[in-house]
Structure 1
Amino acid sequence: MLLSRTYICASHFVSQPALVTSRTYIAMRKDLLVGLIVASPLAALAASQAYTWQNVKIGGGGGFVPDVVFNPSEKGLTYARTDIGGAYKLNADDSWTPLLDWVDNARWDYWGVDALATDPVDTSRLYLAVGMYTNYYDPNNGTILISTDYGSTFTASPLPFKVGGNMPSRGMGERLAVDPHSNNILYFGARSGHGLWKSTDYGATWANVTDFPSVGTYAPDPSDPTGIESDLTGIAFVTFDSTSGTSGAATPRIFVGVANEGSDNIFISDDAGATWAAIPGQNNTYLPHKGVLSPDEGVLYISESNGSGPYDGTLGAVWKYNITSGVWTDITPVSGSNLYFGFGGLSVDLQKPGTLMVAALNSWYPDGQIFRSNDSGATWSPLWAYGDYPAINKYYTYSDSLAPWIGPDYTITTAGTLQIGWMMEGLSIDPFDSDHWLYGTGETIYGGHDLTKWDTIHNVTIDSLANGVEETSVQGLISPPTGAHLLSALGDIEGFVHTSLTTPPLASYMNPSWSTTADLDFAGNVPSSIVRIGTGDASTTPQVALSTDGGATWTPDAGAPTDASGGHVSLSANGNTVLWATSGSGVIVSTDMANFSTVSSLPSGAVIASDKKNDTVFYAASGDTFYVSTNSGATFVAAGSLGASTAPVKIVVNPNVTGDIFVSTDKGIFTSTNLGASFTALPGPTEAWAIALGAPATSGAPPSLFAAATINGVVGYYRSDNVGQTWVQINDVAHGFANAASNVISGDPRLYGRVYIGTNGRGIWYGDISGTAIAAGYGQCGGKTGQAR
């Protein structure tokens, strides 16, 4: 029998996984069952093992891209920021390189990028204003991340207030700007009533501009108790007038837009920020979103909306301000019934003075809209126009070859399909190439390389150009033992059967289609049988669907309730019974598509799972109590205790052994071999979130156990090949995966070492072993100590 003293020196099992035989596994499980294993701090020392990490290619972005920013001085230098997935740098082949994959659990909020500035003088300098939320969702104050090497590395400059990369108005801006004449000077416009801030040492330290006249008065919904909609939007943009002043001295003229509705909202300084005043004659009906300088014209262009975006806004305007004459001119492209949206994205062509473009921020029907002018806004031409309703004339050709699922990949000529995008706050023309343009949407990055055709044949090519931008919020992952190696549940873009990990999928789930798939599961004995659930309106579309062919086709569950959605789902071993822990209607169950019934013996919000061998057995956990059902989920009884746990997170079950269970909790990982009658805490993890089982190291050995967990004080991603007695850390300093508590994991049952990690903002990753495990220390056995990373 394998005793606890063996586990103290158990790094040998990591280095030599073949030693873990089926007989060893049986001995391990018996030890756990009778409680002989004693968790020792010495056993908690985790080794490390090199992994190769790659994104599962979805190809279309998958989330909101609030802005795309070209550097005005270095050709080809372009960045994009996202609301929950960090920042990216454009490559010469139109692909993108992520810049913040090193962000780990300690500062997961760095993936929320609220503003971006690329230095026009020293172009290697890049600044990011990061922080996810200004309310209680995020406990951290904001940070200015500073790079002097184009985003390869960063240093952090802390701010004394929060920053909201995923808050309302995140498409406004840019709120962060570098002085084009004295690049040691930066300004940052804060949210939440914190006003305007200035740095004179390249962003290292910041001071409040106390005499700036307004901190902003607008909040989308002042009564919102969560603090999301009730937070003050604050400063909208900071724009330097590069035509004023001379190199080496602070730029005298600075424009700042502020989210005030019904009062002055565009302010100017003509003395390098010493004094400020509202610009006379301005429109204050709407909120300013963008303030873009056309230097050769001496004009500041402003886009406005009656909402802060990116979802709201039903009216808006576009204005230009002649800096020399002080004259404001309304150049709004449409009026009357044609104006049913606000304006967001705004750009000027620096090669062609007087040429500008502006985007409808939130035209949800029949499509998004972009307008272009060649005469400083006197006249405009649209990207599409109505013919004989509902027919529309679309002045573009469309290609989604890099992300075919976005589709359809042909130009639609009838109203009602959003093809060119929505939530369009970021719209940019390359300052060195009038044909090159990019714009961000709520789903991807579009653009092209023949923009000037708009002015001749009035037809341009729009391509999906988000290759490398993987921004999805992953809700669930499964890796069945047959069929495709991976199926995903994704926020906003449904999810996919990933028949390939390196090429984008052709289509998302259908029949029914939802915006978000909340969870999915497969039947252990019939893995081609799969269930998925959605978060949409159950009164109009069933939020449960079943597949019998590995996710290729789906059938809505005939028994789906009309008042339940979201949460988590489990499918019985033979695929007959669906157990559903809904987001607001408790736990419910259905067999053979009958109407769902309430499982009154389980607390609302319980964590659930199915046994993968026995069709009648389900499991659940809530607080410190584990529950078991042996009658297909109809009733549950309390079984073993999960120690001092108060928040179980995930239950996984050995696919080959009934009742062989692992549960992750706020107190670590607990395991049972007797259908949950009793549990033992695994040595090492003191807190764990997502866990998963994968292929064993050798035939007959136990499944590999993967965990996002805290071991020896280090939050990381770990694998154990010996039932959790020793661990190797498999992520590295370049792959932090941000918020461990938000991520999901699935092990591949067919490929030893393969694990899939679904993040909240950087898509899906898959990792494979690429190096030999390196022991962290041997404690009393070898005398070495320390924690390898």
Structure 2
Amino acid sequence: MWSQEARGGGFVPGIVFNPSAKGVAYARTDIGGAYRLNSDDTWTPLQDSVGNSNWHDWGVDALATDPIDTNRLYLAVGMYTNEWDPNVGSIMRSTDKGNTWSETKLPFKVGGNMPGRGMGERLAVDPNMNSILYFGARSGHGLWKSTDYGATWSNVTSFSWTGTYFQDASSTYTSDPVGIAWVTFDSTSGSKGSPTPRIFVGVADTGKSVFVSEDAGSTWSWVTGEPQYGFLPHKGVLSPAEKSLYISYSNGAGPYDGTNGTVHKYNITSKVWTDISPTPMASTYYGYGGLSVDLQVPGTLMVAALNCWWPDELIFRSVDSGATWSPIWAWNGYPNLNYYYSYDISNAPWLQDDTSTAQFPVRVGWMVEALAIDPFDSNHWLYGTGATIYGGHDLKQWDTVHNVTLKSLAVGIEEMAVLGLISPPGGPPLLSAVGDVGGFYHSDLGKAPAQSFHNPTYGTTNGIDYAGNKPSNLVRSGASDTLPTVAMSTDFGKTWSANYAASSTTPTGQVALSADADTVLLMNSNGAMVSKYSSTFSAVSSLPSGAAIASDKSDNTVFYGGSAGSFYVSTNSATSFTKTTTLGSSTAVNAIRAHPSIAGDVWATTDTGLWHSTDYGKTFTKIGGGCTAGWSFGLGKASSTGSYAVIYGFFTVDGTTALFKTEDMGTNWQMISDSGHGFGAASANVVNGDMSIYGRVFVGTNGRDDLDEHKDVWYHNFFDNADHDHEDIHYNHQYVQDYDVANLYRH
């Protein structure tokens, strides 16, 4: 049996409550799959079975929960619509709230991690005839309809507006049309058992962008009078009792942009549009994203700025249909702020930087596209940020004492980009290099870290390493606008200091630290660079740019590199490298690991498998056992004294790509991922072993992120009990943002 014991989070672009079943709610993430809310405010992941072959299913671009058969749940999945993802998208269907799934492939791609992923929801169930669903596609593919509970789909040819807006023509990631933003049924317009006549559709267009059908989708027309300010409709939310449609607009697709926008109310009966924006267009520097109405109290609604980057995110609340608004904070004569909330991050204390000297610490968040009021409990609300889910159970106090509790409520959601993992001997069990929130010193794997790495603080830590002979000495590299991009620690990463051998303009990248901690090798966008005794980093021209790098953990002068199937060695503290050999027919070197205590013992994974050298990389032996490809891997403590270390990693063995271990240097392999834990894309993950505890391996996944992505850290203990008759498996999921932290799964 599995249980969760830690804390989680990441960017959550969508939160949806079922309007008919109390307590049923779901969250979708851009690269970490979907989650179901539990009664204790924790979340259950619904897509952990996703593996290497269907990694793109962790990108959830839309979610719909059935208001009639409330066990039914639908997801529109797919990661990218450009060339980064060769796969078409799918509609995932569940009849048991996401415990099991059926899949329908679509004839086009879906972009769960593309611009505009916070718009929505693009997928909707007809509230009067739930066999009917609509889905708004990206990339000019238009509006699609299913009449058989999502099993088959056809294009709605009568709907001709495909959404032509794109963010930026300079790259294939930002130049693809965002497409249709949301589909909203007017449940008041029909009767149970018949298709709902009135359907609204919002498209990502700077001109006419909101359309309506009055005949169940047979014909469509623009909603006359829609304001034409060049803004995009992010959310279209129905208030049935008011017979009104509320729409949040922004001049960007999100989730990062947005400098102007409006909130409008459309009265369906009178066909009158009213600007109800909390801040006039002439005075604002943000658009609007997240939007929700209180179904228990008609006229009560909330909207979030998209994006108010300074001094903090703004959320507004109205109890009179948008005639007046109250904010979550307000200026009281610069530089004074009135805060109308208390702050509880006990579930994820690292969310607040205790070392920060910022005048206005960011607490409310950013990138708020997901905002939802519980339809059965006006006190309960949730919203997603770039780092976590916040919310609480005292929302009505906003209207009385004007003070609510903002609490991190993302336990169980794990989504961060883990870019590096180390477990230095004698130190904490784990240190993680993470996207967006820097990284963590994990002293207790069952708890969320108290703080992320600081002094210097990096938004993203790209690489981390320890010195083999002096393992309390560490190096990390990350991006900074003002501080050196390399930092050092002498206490296992508890505290850090900037390494002024680098500057703020030195590109960040992978790092390797010599065995005695006196030399740093940095591989960044400019190529290889080296610093010895804190001298200024200088170029190393003899190692190809982009090569995988590592240091020998016992011999202080030796460093290793691998590129395009060739292996390189330096014996002069990375001053220069020599190509020593070619690894068979390999065309790529994916990772290099040196044995923690044996000089000259080094391993490498390539596109042809796993390779081993015992002579400082002069010659290599290809490991057999059916291994034909390898990516990230690590070495862990052996099962008995005198035995060789256990190798854990993502490999293709006998045609299956998964997480494997070998306890006999590759003669025999055991797959340790399973049907419930697929870990997503093998090539995107990070793995390392623990040399202190037999059977413990750490895995950072790419999705439970990316260009700006989210990965997670899981740790697994595989160890036999005293009589060796069964195996206990321990999983700790520690996600770090988009990037939050951590869940411990135990069996």
Same fold, TM exceeding 0.5? yes
8 Å CA contact 2:145–2:156 kept in 1: the answer is yes
Match of 2:340 in 1: 395
2:349 is paired with a residue whose SS is: coil
Map 1:194-273 to 2 at 5 A: 194-221=141-168, 223-225=169-171, 227-261=172-206, 263-273=207-217
8 Å CA contact 2:480–2:504 kept in 1: the answer is no
Structure 2 runs not aligned, ≥5 long = 705-711, 728-747
More strand by share: 2
C-alpha distance in 1, partners of 2:358/2:585?
Answer: 60
TM-score, normalised on structure 1?
Answer: 0.89
Match of 2:675 in 1: 733
8 Å CA contact 1:392–1:415 kept in 2: the answer is no
1:483 corresponds to which letter in structure 2?
A: G
Q: CA deviation at 1:224?
A: 2.0
1:620 is paired with a residue whose SS is: strand
- Aligned residue among 685, 695, 709 for 2:651: 709
2:328 corresponds to which letter in structure 1?
A: L
1:224 corresponds to which letter in structure 2?
A: S
- Aligned residue among 764, 774, 784 for 2:713: 764
After superposition, give the CA deviation of every residue in 1:710-758 in whole Å (9 maximum; x if it has no partner). 0001011111111111111111110000011000001000111110000
1:243 is paired with a residue whose SS is: helix
8 Å CA contact 2:484–2:506 kept in 1: the answer is no
In structure 2, the CA distance between the partners of 1:139 and 1:738, relative to structure 1 (3 Å rule), is same
2:189 is paired with a residue whose SS is: coil
Match of 1:488 in 2: 432
2:188 is paired with a residue whose SS is: coil
Match of 1:360 in 2: 305
8 Å CA contact 1:115–1:173 kept in 2: the answer is yes
In structure 2, the CA distance between the partners of 1:55 and 1:574, relative to structure 1 (3 Å rule), is farther
C-alpha distance in 2, partners of 1:146/1:60?
Answer: 25
- Aligned residue among 374, 379, 386 for 1:430: 374
8 Å CA contact 1:356–1:374 kept in 2: the answer is yes
C-alpha distance in 2, partners of 1:468/1:193?
Answer: 36
Percent of aligned pairs sharing the same letter = 57
2:262 is paired with a residue whose SS is: strand
After superposition, give the CA deviation of every residue in 1:624-654 in whole Å (9 maximum; x if it has no partner). 2211111111111111221111110111111
C-alpha distance in 2, partners of 1:54/1:654?
Answer: 34
C-alpha distance in 2, partners of 1:371/1:142?
Answer: 35
2:54 corresponds to which letter in structure 1?
A: R
The yes-or-no answer on 1:284 pairing with 2:228 is yes
C-alpha distance in 2, partners of 1:174/1:97?
Answer: 21
Q: CA deviation at 1:773?
A: 9.6
Match of 1:628 in 2: 569
C-alpha distance in 2, partners of 1:334/1:202?
Answer: 41
TM-score, normalised on structure 2?
Answer: 0.94
Map 1:66-465 to 2 at 5 A: 66-221=13-168, 223-225=169-171, 227-261=172-206, 263-285=207-229, 286-335=231-280, 338-407=283-352, 416-465=360-409
Match of 1:31 in 2: none
In structure 2, the CA distance between the partners of 1:110 and 1:765, relative to structure 1 (3 Å rule), is same
1:119 corresponds to which letter in structure 2?
A: D
After superposition, give the CA deviation of every residue in 1:446-484 in whole Å (9 maximum; x if it has no partner). 000000011111111110111111111110000111110
Match of 1:48 in 2: none
Give RMSD over aligned pairs: 1.7
2:683 is paired with a residue whose SS is: helix
State the number of aligned residues. 715
Q: CA deviation at 1:337?
A: 5.6
Q: CA deviation at 1:336?
A: 5.3
C-alpha distance in 1, partners of 2:492/2:684?
Answer: 26
C-alpha distance in 1, partners of 2:594/2:3?
Answer: 27
Q: CA deviation at 1:408?
A: 5.4
C-alpha distance in 2, partners of 1:258/1:596?
Answer: 50
8 Å CA contact 2:289–2:305 kept in 1: the answer is yes
Name which one, 1 or 2, has greater alpha-carbon Rg. 1
C-alpha distance in 2, partners of 1:321/1:773?
Answer: 67
C-alpha distance in 1, partners of 2:154/2:145?
Answer: 5
Q: CA deviation at 1:565?
A: 2.4
Q: CA deviation at 1:415?
A: 5.5
Structure 1 runs not aligned, ≥5 long = 1-51, 776-789
Match of 2:731 in 1: none
8 Å CA contact 1:526–1:573 kept in 2: the answer is yes
8 Å CA contact 1:141–1:158 kept in 2: the answer is yes
Match of 1:16 in 2: none
C-alpha distance in 1, partners of 2:253/2:236?
Answer: 15
8 Å CA contact 1:391–1:413 kept in 2: the answer is no
C-alpha distance in 2, partners of 1:408/1:618?
Answer: 35
Match of 1:670 in 2: 611
The yes-or-no answer on 1:700 pairing with 2:700 is no
Match of 1:32 in 2: none
Match of 1:550 in 2: 492
Match of 1:46 in 2: none
1:109 is paired with a residue whose SS is: helix
After superposition, give the CA deviation of every residue in 1:238-284 in whole Å (9 maximum; x if it has no partner). 000011110001001100001110x2110000100010000100013
2:534 corresponds to which letter in structure 1?
A: M
After superposition, give the CA deviation of every residue in 1:671-713 in whole Å (9 maximum; x if it has no partner). 1111111111101210100111000110111011112010001
Map 1:741-760 to 2 at 5 A: 741-760=683-702
In structure 2, the CA distance between the partners of 1:453 and 1:562, relative to structure 1 (3 Å rule), is closer
C-alpha distance in 1, partners of 2:123/2:561?
Answer: 48
Deviation above 6 Å: which 4+ runs of structure 1?
Answer: 52-56, 771-775
